[in-house]
Amino acid sequence: LVQVHQAKLRGFAARYLDDSNDVYDIVQDAFVDAYRHLDRFDLSRQFGPWLRAICKNRILNLFRSRRVRRDVNLTIIDDALADQVQSEEAVDENFVDRLVAMRHCIQKLPDSQKELIELRYNVRVSVKDLAETMNVSAAALSMQLMRMRHSIKRCMQLRLSLKPSEETEP
């Protein structure tokens, strides 16, 4: 199982971790966790997604333990650009401007909100799991995420409405 899943799991972890030592450690720990909890694995399901979930939880624990505040907007922007290019749609002339505006607006958020964006939209932690971790209801967290999205959207609209010579700090 290790030989079959190791390379993909390292790639998965490397997407979120900058340090190759962290990648190797997280992947190794994920395999150890999987081995220890094989009795919990549902044989009617695929092993890979279960293993990735274990790895994702290990990454989240690492972020929490180090209070990592990654540059979330770069990863989100890179993913958005890659998605558009992979879909073979022409990158419209405003697409990059919108991504740059989004980067700027996300950077202006408090660290706690940037971390929440990282966990929800990049690491793809479910609202339910995040809510449990934060000791809030899923409904309250959903509302907080909605308000953050609206705030980012307003910031982007303001930023995109300015001409390049007018850009200061919207």
Architecture per CATH, domain 2-66, reads as Orthogonal Bundle (1.10)
Q: Report residue 81's pLDDT band, with 50, 70 and 90 as the boundaries.
A: very low
The rounded distance, in Å, linking the Cα atoms of 67 and 20 is: 18
pLDDT of residue 155: 93
Kindly report, as residue ranges, where domains of CATH 1.10.1740.10 are found in the chain: 2-66
pTM of the model: 0.48
Q: Where is mean pLDDT largest: 92-96, 99-103, 144-148?
A: 144-148
120-163 pLDDT, tens digit per residue, is: 887 788 899 888 888 899 999 999 999 999 999 999 999 888 74
pLDDT of residue 76: 53
Neighbouring C-beta atoms of residue 155, cutoff 10 Å: 18
pLDDT averaged over every residue in the chain: 77
Q: List all residues 6 or more positions away from 111 whose beta carbon is below 8 Å from its beta carbon.
A: 69
Q: Smallest Cα–Cα separation from 5: which of 39, 43, 63, 55?
A: 55
